[in-house]
A = this chain, B = another copy of it.
Amino acid sequence: MPGRSQRKFVAPLNQPPLADFKVGVDNVIFSVDTAQNRLLVLLVMRQQEPFLNHWSLPGTLVRQGESLEDAAYRILSEKIRAKNLYLEQLYTFGGPQRDPREASDSYGVRYLSVSYFALVRFEEAELIADRMTGIAWYPVKQVPQLAFDHNEILAYGHRRLRNKLEYSPVAFEVLPEMFTLNDLYQLYTTVLGENFSDYSNFRARLLKLGFLCDTGIKVSRGAGRPASLYRFDAEAFAPFKDKPLVFI
């Protein structure tokens, strides 16, 4: 690497120049179709090269004056109208050659992707189908080959979702205001798999914790005894906040 010289206080001697980056934000947006017990992820059809006409995670490049999180929310609001959602940063993928544009296009510009993970209520999330934009909820078990390294990002997001469910109350951000304990249980089983807990034990443990309050309202779903609607009490949950509590 010797033989190159630069200005003294800008960069040390004999070192390759700094990379210039464009920064993208890609969102892994999950929702749970409680009716069909399926975990869904939002995919969009790319309208431009590279990977024209491939499915991909919804993403965008960060603009001037915009924070990473702003960009993540911007994508979300361009694709869906959702009242309640949970969003957090996932991981940053930034190896060279992860984006084909690096090779052809421009002068050594690198593309880096900061991925975000989001969870929205399926029933309230209204997809914004701007003219001829392919956009759809896909069952995570049936996602096709995606653009870039998006399959990898999705897998990472899925793992994070499972962990989050186990020790944080994200589920309540994504259920309606009032829900039955079975709704909650279904949500957990669709994300975590069938064998995570017996319903009656799940029920007992959760009720004992005391942050679910019975509204007294009953709903009937076809045959069978009507179920109570419960509400998540954020205040009663507060003591468990940020504790290593595993409540499932």
Interface residues of A (CB under 8 A from B): 9, 15-23, 48, 61-69, 89, 91-92, 94-96, 108, 110, 112, 114, 163, 166, 244, 246
Task: Please give me the 6 A-B residue pairs with the lowest Cβ-Cβ distance, nearest first.
Answer: A21-B21, A67-B95, A68-B94, A92-B92, A19-B64, A16-B63
5 contacting pairs across A/B (C-beta < 8 A): A18-B64, A62-B110, A65-B96, A68-B112, A89-B92
Are A19 and B66 in contact (CB-based, < 8 A)? Answer: yes
Q: Name A16's closest neighbour in chain B (CB-CB).
A: B63
Selected contact of A22 from candidates B16, B18, B89, CB within 8 Å = B18
Please state if B68 and A95 are interface contacts (CB–CB under 8 Å).
yes
The answer to whether B9 and A48 have CB atoms under 8 Å apart is yes
User: How far apart are A137's CB and chain B's nearest CB, in angstroms?
Assistant: 24
Closest residue on chain B to residue A68 by CB atoms: B94
Asked whether B22 lies within 8 Å of A22 as measured between CB atoms, the reply is: no
Say how many copies of this protein the assembly contains.
2
A92 near B67 with CB under 8 A, answer no
Which of B92, B96, B108, B246 meets A114, CB within 8 Å?
B92
Q: Which residues does chain B contribute within 8 Å of A18, judged by CB atoms?
A: 22, 61-64
In the complex the two chains form, what is the Cα distance from A20 to B217 in whole Å? 54
State whether A244 touches B63 (Cβ < 8 A): no
**Is the Cβ of A108 less than 8 Å from the Cβ of B64?**
yes
Interfacial chain B residues near A108, Cβ < 8 Å: 64
Indicate if the CB atoms of B63 and A19 lie closer than 8 Å: yes
Residues of B within 8 A of A96 (CB): 64-67
- A63 lies within 8 A of B23 (CB): no
Q: Pick the contact of A166 from B16, B63, B163, B244 — CB < 8 Å? A: B244
Question: Cα distance A9–B89 when bound, in Å?
Answer: 29
Q: A67's contact among B15, B67, B94, by CB below 8 Å, is which?
A: B94
B20 touches A22 (CB 8 A): yes
Q: Are A15 and B89 in contact (CB under 8 A)?
A: no
Shortest beta-carbon distance from A71 to chain B in Å: 9
Partner of A23, one of B16, B17, B19: B19
Which B residue sits closest to A24, measured CB to CB? B18
A15 close to B244 (CB less than 8 A):
no
Q: How far is the CA of A91 from the CA of B63 in the complex (A)?
A: 20
